[in-house]
Every structure is written in structure tokens, then in C-alpha cells.
Amino acid sequence: VKKPTFLLLDEATSALDNNNEKIVQEALDRACKGRTTIVIAHRLTTIRNADQIYVFDKGNVIEQGTHDTLMGNEGGKYQELVKRQQMEKIDDDQDDPIKMQKAKEEEEEAIGMSERSRLISDSQVIVDVQKHTAFAIAGSQLTQRIRSKAFGCFLRQEVAYFDRSENTSGAISVRLSFDAVAVQEMAGTRLGVIFESLALTFFGIAFGCFMNWQLTFIVLIPIIAMVLLTFGEVSLRVWQGKQNDPIMGQASTLAVKVIHNMRTIKQLSVEKEILRQYSDLIYEAVRLYRMTAIPVSIAGGLYWTIDVYTVAFVYWRALILVEEKQLTSHHIIMVVAYSMFALPAVKLIGML
């Protein structure tokens, strides 16, 4: 194995560039001394010193001889191949510095873009923190102002206003607590997220239409479906809230009365009756939740799966357009990327 008498080289330098090929070829020339060597050549410069060269064409030997003999054969196949490879070598040598310079410029550009992306990402974190903090502070101040104004409004009411069953101290406390929080949730960070999502949706659809209206239209259909599902779910929840709020107000009022009149209730031994009344109110609220649970669950299931099937359908349609030469792979990436901005944006609005 260390000193073979027969050596077979099958395109030994085909994967090397010109500089490395010279080094490897010199080593092979030294290894070929004193033994029979058969070389299947990729580059004809590697067999210049061969004792016998065979030129094959479609499985048949069409020329044979030494390098000098074959080069003297005007119009021969070997001479044509050698001249062609010499021209290719000249072109490669001229292109190498240009390619290296271009690769260097592309690398520097990529590094610069990466650095800019990192700076933008870092600054975006700071901007997001400041944005959410500002919205949170504004929402808290709004809640404080609403509660103080509402409390002042209650104090200016006539005595008969508080004699009504829906305006007891417990019901008023619930209103001051929950209504102000509901306004804060709508006007705080949630409002900023909604406007940001709407802007993303509009930008994604507009740019997608500019690139290819067919794929954008495919994305627009599930967006409309998601909006309708969100509207239906919100309508159910609003109806449920309107039906449920008076019941929970009565339950809160009953609980406050029980706490204030605990001694009287003990003396009259009406604990079971009070518990039954409170349980009936809570059961009525639970019944309302059960009525809306199934349609809300169905809407939620469709809402969270529609975007997955949309992506699959968009790619399927995009491949058809590519086969019909109406779209390029570059446009697919652009359209899908920008159009898909709208889906998570709409989904985020629905979550809020």
C-alpha cells in the first residue's frame, strides 16, 4: 500500500483552484515516478507530461499520442480542448480579483447592515418601554380622574336616587371600581397596541397589493373572516355583560347588606335563605356564561387556526403563479412577508 506499482487518479484536482492545483500536481508528479499511472483528467494541464494520452469521444478513442504530438494535429479535438481551457483560465484569472473585491464589499455591507439592525433593535426596546410606560401612566391618571369625577357626581344626587335598588352603596362601589378600570384598559397600553396593529395591517395589505394583488386578496379574505369572528365574539361578550352586570350588582348588594346586618340575620336565623338568594344569583350568572361558551369557543377555534391554513393556501397559490411565469420567487417572499403582517396584527386586536 505504501509503495504501489499501479496508480489510478480520477480527476484528482477537479475541486481545486489554480494556485492549489499547482501544489497538488507537483506532489502527484513526484508520486507517479517509478510506477504505472492512469490519469482521468479534468484539466488537461495535469497530463502535459504523460507518456501516452488517449482522447475519448462517446466511448471511442479518436486521438492518441503525447502532448506535443496531439498539439501539432491542427483541428484536432485535443488541441481544441486545450485552447478552450487556456481561454477559460485567462478569464478566471481576470475575474478572481474582481470577485474577491465584490465579495469583500458584500461582506462589509452585510456587517454594516447587521450593525445597523442591532442598533435599531436596541433603540426599539427603549422606545417600546417608554411608549408602554407613557400609556400606562396616562391610563392610571385617567382612571383616577374618572373615579373622582364619578364619586363627585354621586355625591350631588338627591336622596331619592339612593333609595333605588340599583343604586345601593354596594352597586355604586362596584361601578366606581370596574367601570373606571374598563375605561383605563381601553385608553391605556391597549389603545396604543390597537393603533399599531391597524397601521401594520394597512401597510401590509397596501404593500402586498403593490407587489401582487392576487396573493394579497387571498390573505385579505381570512382577515375579513377574522374581523367578523372578532365582531361576533365581542357582540356576544357585550350582550353577556349587559345581562350579567345587573345580576352581579344584585349579588354584590346582597353581600354588602349581609355584612352590615349580620347580627340581625343571626337573630332571625335566615342564613339559609340569604345563602339561597345569593346562590340563585350566582347560578344565573353561570347560566349566562354557559349560553355563550359554545359559540365563543367555536369562534375562538376558527380564529386561532385560520391563519395557519391561510399561509399554506398562499404558498400553494404562489407556486402556481411561479409556474405560470406571473410571479418570481423573490416576489413570493416579499408578498407573503408583508401580507402576513396583517394576520398577527388582526389577531392581536382580537386578543385585546
Q: What is the number of helices (H) and of strands (E) in the chain? A: 11, 4
pLDDT at position 111 is: 54
pLDDT recorded at residue 1: 46
* Strand 60-65 versus strand 53-57 pairing type: antiparallel
d(C-alpha 88, C-alpha 106), whole Å: 25
Would you say residue 22 has pLDDT above 60? yes
* Ordered domains of the chain (ranges, CATH): 196-245+283-352 (1.20.1560.10)
pLDDT in tens, 165-184: 777 777 777 777 777 776 76
pLDDT > 90: what percent of the chain? 0
Cβ atoms of 277 and 199 within 8 Å: the answer is: no
Please give the Cα distance from 205 to 213 (Å, whole number): 9
Question: Above 80 in pLDDT, residue 271?
Answer: yes
Please report the pLDDT score of residue 322 as a whole number: 79
Q: What are phi and psi of 324, to 5 degrees?
A: -85, 5
Q: Report pTM.
A: 0.46
Is residue 198's pLDDT more than 80?
no
11 contacts 42 by C-beta, under 8 angstroms? yes
Considering Cα of 294, then 299, then 300, then 302, what sign does the dihedral take?
Answer: positive
- Cβ contacts of 347 within 8 Å, gap of 6 or more: 226, 303, 304, 307
Average pLDDT for residues 73-99, to the nearest whole number?
A: 65
How much of the chain, in percent, has pLDDT values that exceed 70?
A: 71
> How large is the C-alpha radius of gyration of the chain?
41
**DSSP-derived pairing of the beta strands 6-10 and 36-40:** parallel
